[in-house]
Structure 1
Amino acid sequence: MLILQSLLALLRAYYDFVDISPLYRHAAPTVTLDTATVTGVASGSVNEWLGIPFALPPTGNLRFQLPQPIPSYNTSFSATAYGPACPQQPPTIPIPPGLPAETIDYVTSAIYNTLVPSSEDCLTVNVVAPANATPGSNLPVVIWIYGGGYETGGTSSYNGSVIINKAIGLNVPAIYVSMNYRLTAFGFLASKEVKEAGVGNLGMQDQRQAMRWVQKYISAFGGDPTKVTIWGESAGAWSVGLHMITNGGNPEGLFRAAFMESGSPIPIGDITHGQGYYDFIVDQTGCAGSSDTLQCLREVPYDTLMNATKNTPNLFSYQSLAIAWLPRVDGVFLTADPQQLVLQGSVADIPFVTGDCDDEGTLFSFSTLNITTDAQLAEYLQTYWFPGAPAATIQQLLLDYPQGPTQGSPYDTGDLNELSAQFKRIASIQGDAAFQAPRRFFLQQRSGLQNTWAFLSKRLKLVPILGSFHTSDLLNVYGGHDMASYLVRFVTNLDPNGSGTLAWPKWTTSAPNLLTFLDGLIPQEITQDTYRADAIAYMINVNLNYTR
């Protein structure tokens, strides 16, 4: 069995054991929300409340509407199981012939680990707290936002008990919250009709509403609403970055710190750039003849809308990370391209951590193996990644990211891992465009203005073809390893440092320090964030000028 799956399974088995063992069993915990008594699950040294609705079901006429808060809880209920995830878009995974079995295991686990039972009625939160927490404990809070390319994912895939047990063990007890949010067309429908109705970026609005729920109710679980850190990975980290820049950079008291794994504020175009996907959904659902296509989409049967959505491009389609369903500039949640907002200083003045895996692009580059020439790659980049960019700009990118496999991703693997003539090159371009360049740009712009730390994960570098692939850092944190230690200390102290771990210096333009996680006997070292300096600098410039 895959190492990642095996370790996570062992962790789950351990926590299942402590839940049923007489040595660990204690009474089912309860909490009072408004006038309701909510019963959770006792699980060793922590208590869990799972599947608590934080907004009215976004069904019927509330489909494609802003999330509506629960007026009040006035009926007692049990919160002992995760709620269903929001509607998912199953990916189509291109598995090239001859791919090593180990690599296939990692590819499928990284993707299908996020696919869980789903329902349109999905807006729930989960809370994990130390078993001894009381309403007066005033513990810091970490809010987890899962990834999945805004297409897949759910809270049940992530065991918050691991994080809180780590915090307890390091004497920095905290409370963990996770939320579901609408995905695919249900959460990120984009068109002029959506813009005019003011209902864009619903998945982001769901996340924001869950944060408001935390402000209102987390003290009942023992949390301090003034000490909230938002934390995410992949699309969850992109989301964290967007929450930092929305609303003129005013976090509205919803959070005081941010932790981003594989994601920073990304270049995003206007919401009308999604018009083609909207029109396709309208056509596929039979709404094309309606005088109000948006209202028609609210009224079509769920299965009809879901089937239409499944026929749109996904993360592993040919266009890959130039994804179809994602946040866009809607004039409400996002008033401009996020990177332009960063340039304008529309950034929450809070400490933050941001970092990437070394080989972010490899997992997403199996669908483009038919690209074998420079001309084909140039056409691909101009069509999907940088529409409107002149040919000279694309040619400069090709010079900055040469075809030689020794310079491609997975990095530092020489001539190995070259699935096709352009695979490692495309993996390098995609990884930098979507992850590395936005991270470095964000850090450069905020250097000296707020406390920032940055990391690079080079673990699992020996996985064939993939290297230190996107999502590989999740084992480090949800496996309860050293990244989890840095995380929980940051949540409590607004500084990731503490005894027993390598000192992590801040990132500044004059000293761009990276805490680098490594395989082998030396698990971490401090390196400099200067790799591919010219190429990433040019990619930053291209990202600023040509949005999808």
Structure 2
Amino acid sequence: MVTNITSFLGIRYAAPPVGDLRWAAPQPPLAVSGVQQATTQPNRCNKAPTGNSLTNPFESTSMRKRAISQSEDCLFLNVYTPGSKVVATPGGGLPVVVFIHGGGYITGAASVFNGADLIVDSNHGVITVLIQYRLGLFGFLPGKAVKEGGALNAGLLDQNYALQWVQAYISSFGGDPAKVTIWGESAGAGSVLQHIVAHGGNTQPPLFETAHDEFYVLTIPIQTIMTEFRSEVVNGTNCTSSSDTLSCLRAADVNTLQTLNYNINVNGFFGTFVFVPVVDGTFILERPTVTIRKGRLNGKYLLSMTNSHEGNAFVDQSMTLDVADYVKTLFPNFGSAQVAGAGDNANLRWVNAIFVCPTYYLLLAFGERAWKGEFAIPPGLHGSDVAYYFTSYGGGPPYNNSQFITAFSNSFMAMAMFETPDDRYTPGDITPSWTSWQYDLTEMKFNETFAGVPDIYTFKTDSALLERCA
């Protein structure tokens, strides 16, 4: 039972993104007088399922109805502070961890996690902020009309706005706005990457100091497919003949939009995500890999963690396609030489392109200020490490070994508090010494032996992997 931690749930950081604010940049909420209750979890943003089609995403055109249990009015955040009393600290304060949930940019919510877990991990040394942002069709609808009359990447702009809220108000909760760490898993890690490259890597004023990421999602949107999905939204809302498509979509019934959101996503290619961040020319100026290569990035420090078998959940393990056909389906612009060079393991092809290689691109760019780890507790699947720092998540960690949990979670929290994972702030931490990845390509492996004993050790990055990424 967690004690001596105070939670502030459902704090509104932006106006409801409805009506004319649908697909618009987030706006300030209306002022409300009096004391506001912050004791219940906020509405979740409208969500959608992962792509489940084994072939072309447009072969199924069903418009399945689905009960709506979420809301467009979902731009809230939760704040967790150590102690039973909050002390405002305008001249400093505790480090702040802002966690961005994953879910492929189509699902997830702040209420899934308990921010108190991270405070316990840190021995009551941080403040935790869990944020929500628009998802799926509502947060990442592409197209010329949205760009001209609204905002592309509305979901990313929500996150950015929440980070601005942290800068403005976290000192009132005892936090230090100069010591903010952004942390994400899955699409949340992909979001971290986007904030690192935002504004060409030069967001002013700076919104964070340290970046934690676990398994980046480097999305690869294909323009022809995005155009098809956009047309499906316009057609599904009877806005085809409208002279002002965006105004028509903003006036559309939310239930109709959510039905489209559900069906378009579920009919996407297996393991892929339809509505994702795009290059918008203002927030994301260019392809992230281009900005990363230039080396001008937001944030000073980086800790990257990947899982040993990330790709398995995103590749249909029963598929009869051969790997070459799969690669051509996933990456239709690949030439024959690229397809032939992709190898014979679909899981590895997927994970390297979407998760692993972007991690090494960032490690190279951050240089001596970056560290790399790998979570390998079997089965080591995508997201299986979350319960080892959010220890109340999903019933708790399956490998319930206190030494391992301390070593793993403390590496993250040390990064947030001391700007290095190599600080043993908890007695008995068995993690070997961390070294900067750039120094000698050393990573930290978090595993267990066959006998169930924690097995944490350093190893060298596979040079053949780095060659493939290059």
TM-score class, shorter-chain normalisation, is 0.7 to 0.9
Q: Distance in 2 between matches of 1:343 and 1:270?
A: 22
Other-structure match for 1:534:
464
Q: Distance in 2 between matches of 1:509 and 1:168?
A: 30
Q: Which moved more, 1:147-156 or 1:70-79?
A: 70-79
Other-structure match for 2:394:
none
Other-structure match for 1:437:
357
Q: Distance in 1 between matches of 2:146 and 2:407?
A: 43
Q: Distance in 2 between matches of 1:70 and 1:259?
A: 29
Q: Distance in 2 between matches of 1:263 and 1:344?
A: 19
Secondary structure of the residue aligned to 1:246 is: helix
In structure 1, which of residues 453, 477, 482 is the aligned counterpart of residue 371 of structure 2? 453
Distance verdict in 2 for CA 1:307–1:117, change over 3 Å = closer
The residue type equivalent to 2:96 in the other structure is: V
Q: Distance in 1 between matches of 2:406 and 2:231?
A: 46
Secondary structure of the residue aligned to 1:126 is: strand
Distance verdict in 2 for CA 1:208–1:242, change over 3 Å = same
Give 1:194 deviation, angstroms.
2.1
Aligned pair 1:55/2:14, yes or no? Answer: yes
In structure 2, which of residues 322, 325, 340 is the aligned counterpart of residue 379 of structure 1? 325
Assess if the C-alpha contact under 8 Å between 1:45 and 1:165 holds in 2.
no
Assess if the C-alpha contact under 8 Å between 2:445 and 2:458 holds in 1.
yes
Unaligned ranges ≥5, structure 2: 55-67, 392-404
Give 1:513 deviation, angstroms.
1.3
Percent identity at matched positions? 31
Q: Distance in 1 between matches of 2:34 and 2:24?
A: 25
Give 1:443 deviation, angstroms.
1.3
Aligned pair 1:353/2:303, yes or no? Answer: yes
Secondary structure of the residue aligned to 1:518 is: strand
Other-structure match for 1:507:
436
Other-structure match for 2:249:
297
Q: Distance in 2 between matches of 1:349 and 1:211?
A: 13
Assess if the C-alpha contact under 8 Å between 2:52 and 2:269 holds in 1.
no
The residue type equivalent to 1:344 in the other structure is: K
The residue type equivalent to 1:89 in the other structure is: A
Q: Distance in 1 between matches of 2:53 and 2:8?
A: 38
Secondary structure of the residue aligned to 2:365 is: helix
Assess if the C-alpha contact under 8 Å between 2:51 and 2:271 holds in 1.
no
Give 1:495 deviation, angstroms.
1.2
Other-structure match for 2:63:
none
Other-structure match for 1:320:
271
In structure 2, which of residues 182, 185, 198 is the aligned counterpart of residue 230 of structure 1? 182
Q: Distance in 2 between matches of 1:268 and 1:246?
A: 17
Q: Distance in 1 between matches of 2:422 and 2:262?
A: 44
Distance verdict in 2 for CA 1:94–1:372, change over 3 Å = closer
Q: Distance in 2 between matches of 1:311 and 1:61?
A: 24
Q: Distance in 2 between matches of 1:158 and 1:341?
A: 32
Give 1:346 deviation, angstroms.
3.0
Aligned pair 1:178/2:107, yes or no? Answer: no
Secondary structure of the residue aligned to 1:226 is: strand
Listed as ranges, the matches of 1:196-215 within 5 Å are 196-197=148-149, 199-215=151-167
Listed as ranges, the matches of 1:137-148 within 5 Å are 138-148=93-103
Assess if the C-alpha contact under 8 Å between 2:388 and 2:409 holds in 1.
yes
Q: Distance in 1 between matches of 2:240 and 2:10?
A: 37
In structure 2, which of residues 107, 110, 135 is the aligned counterpart of residue 152 of structure 1? 107
Kindly tell me the number of residue pairs found equivalent between the two proteins. Answer: 434
Q: Distance in 2 between matches of 1:281 and 1:518?
A: 45
Listed as ranges, the matches of 1:81-92 within 5 Å are 81-91=40-50
Secondary structure of the residue aligned to 1:255 is: coil
Can you list the C-alpha shifts for 1:315-374, whole angstroms capped at 9, x where unaligned? Answer: x953423x21110101111111100111122312511101100000111122x633343x
Distance verdict in 2 for CA 1:273–1:254, change over 3 Å = farther
Other-structure match for 1:369:
318
Q: Distance in 2 between matches of 1:455 and 1:239?
A: 19
Listed as ranges, the matches of 1:393-412 within 5 Å are 393-397=338-342, 401-402=343-344
Distance verdict in 2 for CA 1:282–1:94, change over 3 Å = closer
Q: Distance in 1 between matches of 2:70 and 2:185?
A: 20
Give 1:165 deviation, angstroms.
1.9
Give 1:445 deviation, angstroms.
3.2
Give 1:271 deviation, angstroms.
6.9
The residue type equivalent to 1:452 in the other structure is: A
Unaligned ranges ≥5, structure 1: 1-13, 16-43, 96-115, 403-424, 462-466, 542-548
Q: Distance in 1 between matches of 2:320 and 2:265?
A: 18
The residue type equivalent to 2:35 in the other structure is: S
Q: Distance in 2 between matches of 1:274 and 1:332?
A: 19
**Larger RCO: 1 or 2 (CA < 8 Å, sep 6+):** 2
Secondary structure of the residue aligned to 2:123 is: helix
Other-structure match for 1:240:
192
Assess if the C-alpha contact under 8 Å between 1:51 and 1:126 holds in 2.
yes
Can you list the C-alpha shifts for 1:57-111, whole angstroms capped at 9, x where unaligned? Answer: 001111111100225443321010110110000347799xxxxxxxxxxxxxxxx
Can you list the C-alpha shifts for 1:380-431, whole angstroms capped at 9, x where unaligned? Answer: 322332x32211111111xxx23xxxxxxxxxxxxxxxxxxxxxx2112111
Other-structure match for 2:207:
254
The residue type equivalent to 2:166 in the other structure is: V
What TM-score do you get using the length of structure 2 for normalisation? 0.87
Other-structure match for 1:34:
none
Aligned pair 1:518/2:463, yes or no? Answer: no
Can you list the C-alpha shifts for 1:112-169, whole angstroms capped at 9, x where unaligned? Answer: xxxx952110000100001244102611110000000001100101011111122235
Secondary structure of the residue aligned to 2:138 is: helix
In structure 1, which of residues 78, 88, 102 is the aligned counterpart of residue 37 of structure 2? 78
Q: Distance in 2 between matches of 1:347 and 1:220?
A: 29
Q: Considering only aligned residues, what root-mean-square deviation do their CA atoms show, in Å?
A: 2.3
Aligned pair 1:64/2:14, yes or no? Answer: no
What TM-score do you get using the length of structure 1 for normalisation? 0.75
Assess if the C-alpha contact under 8 Å between 1:192 and 1:272 holds in 2.
no
Give 1:447 deviation, angstroms.
2.2
